Amino acid sequence: MENYALKKCRNRLVGTTQIIKQREDLWNLYTKKEEYNSPFTDEYERFPYYLSNHRDIFEPTVSKFLISNNLELEYPENKNFAVCFTHDIDVVYPKRIMSSTKAIIDRKFTDAFKLPFSKTYRPWNPYWNFKQIMELEAKYDAKSSFYFLSLNPEEADFNYNIKDLESEIGFISDSGWEVGLHGGHESYNSLTDIQEKKRRLEKVLGKEVIGYRNHYLRFIVPNTWEFLSKAGFKYDSTFGYSDCAGFRNGMCHPFRPYNVETEKEIEILEIPLTIMDRTLQENYMKLGLERAWELTKRLIDIVEECKGVITILWHNTEMRGENLKFYENVLKYCSENNAWLTSGENICNFWES
């Protein structure tokens, strides 16, 4: 078999396709051939895990095959593996009536009083917490990526005008964290929409945006990758299941997607998503905090064994109470295991240097 090596001086996965093609089953998994023109999707036109023929979702089968074929990995400062920390900023302003009602039901009466005024008085807004997130991450020498929506007021899930956050996203970027684009509901299937939203965010940020994740993890293989490449993004981090944590195409390393229809690599790096906060708990897997932590540690340990990259998505709206403690536990555990805790931008630049 052809030797495969990933060196610190050349981090792109050279020769990946030639090696994986030696195993038809792994090639079909790696390229996600089953998702091409699938007649079945969920309510958001996503291909969910429950429709996949690949059931061993917690094993990075393809990455392990590459390792068995002489994959060598090095990270900065001799770190054992990498963790890509990310935040999708869906909501900045709480829906005041609903949030206040929930706070009363939860017997959080102080919150119930504050929430109606949270839009005009930011110290009372629990979701205007970007600096607090950064301070927590800095405690563990970590960086992360913040993906912001740049929607028009008439679009679904519009909650904030990106222009109103100019000073905040400027502070995030100037501090060494990443600002990326969180594409809207229709962006995953429209080059024009992606380009428009990218321009809008770049105008506010004042520099190029290289990282992307789509809202609701909406994604079509391979079309979304092709659109993102044409729009000028350097990497995407949408590629994970909403209904189950794990390794969607058996990879726990960044990779260049391969279009089986054109028989060409797509000019974009995928940093696959492994764990989303809402996937673990009430929305999908319904694990509860204890079992969610067991699975999270298991996935982290597996990625460490493979010297891979694990991508964590934690929404700014989940940075409270037990969910905030859970996120800090992830930071602490990965730090104690000598991981490189960083953003998608830093991983992308390192991987392709």
What HEC string does the chain produce? CCCCCCECCECCCCCHHHHHCCCHHHHHHHHCHHHCCCCCCCCCCCCCHHHCCCCCCCCCHHHHHHHHCCCCCCCHHHCCEEEEEEEEECCCCCCHHHHHHHHHHCCCHHHHHHHHHCCCCHHHCCCCCHHHHHHHHHHCCCCCEEEECCCCCCCCCCCCCHHHHHHHHHHHHHCCCEEEEEECCCHHHCHHHHHHHHHHHHHHHCCCCCEEEEHHHCCCCCHHHHHHHHHCCCEECCCCCCCCCCCCCCCCCCECCEECCCCEECCCEECCCCEEHHHHCCCCCCCHHHHHHHHHHHHHHHHHHCCCEEEEECCHHHCCHHHHHHHHHHHHHHHHCCEEEECHHHHHHHHCC
Within a domain: 52: yes
Within a domain: 276: yes
Within a domain: 175: yes
Instruction: Using the predicted structure, report yes or no on whether residue 113 has a pLDDT greater than 60.
Output: no
Instruction: Using the predicted structure, report yes or no on whether residue 294 has a pLDDT greater than 50.
Output: yes
Q: Are residues 105 and 237 in the same domain?
A: no
Within a domain: 213: yes
Between 10 and 79, name the one with better pLDDT. Answer: 79
Q: What average pLDDT score do residues 217-233 get?
A: 98
> Can you give the pTM of this predicted structure?
0.91
Within a domain: 3: no
Q: Are residues 233 and 159 in the same domain?
A: yes
Task: For residue 101, give its domain range.
Answer: 96-126
Among 104, 126, 148, the domain boundary falls at 126
Q: What is the CATH number of the domain that holds 70?
A: 3.20.20.370
Range with lowest mean pLDDT among 76-90, 107-121, 175-189, 319-333: 107-121
Among 83, 109, 126, the domain boundary falls at 126
Instruction: Using the predicted structure, report yes or no on whether residue 329 has a pLDDT greater than 70.
Output: yes
Q: Are residues 196 and 54 in the same domain?
A: yes
Structure confidence at residue 18 as a pLDDT band (50, 70, 90): confident
Q: Are residues 186 and 244 in the same domain?
A: yes
Q: Are residues 315 and 215 in the same domain?
A: yes
Q: In the prediction, which pLDDT does 119 show?
A: 58
Q: In the prediction, which pLDDT does 58 show?
A: 98
Number of domains in the chain: 2
Q: Are residues 316 and 177 in the same domain?
A: yes
Within a domain: 9: no
Range with lowest mean pLDDT among 209-213, 258-262, 280-284: 280-284
Q: Are residues 183 and 220 in the same domain?
A: yes
Among 81, 105, 126, the domain boundary falls at 126
Q: Are residues 78 and 61 in the same domain?
A: yes
Q: Are residues 120 and 268 in the same domain?
A: no
The pLDDT tens digits for 147-204 are 999 999 999 999 999 999 999 999 999 999 999 999 999 999 999 999 999 999 999 9
Instruction: Using the predicted structure, report yes or no on whether residue 33 has a pLDDT greater than 60.
Output: yes
Q: Are residues 304 and 317 in the same domain?
A: yes
Q: Are residues 111 and 222 in the same domain?
A: no
Within a domain: 158: yes
Within a domain: 119: yes
Q: Are residues 150 and 250 in the same domain?
A: yes
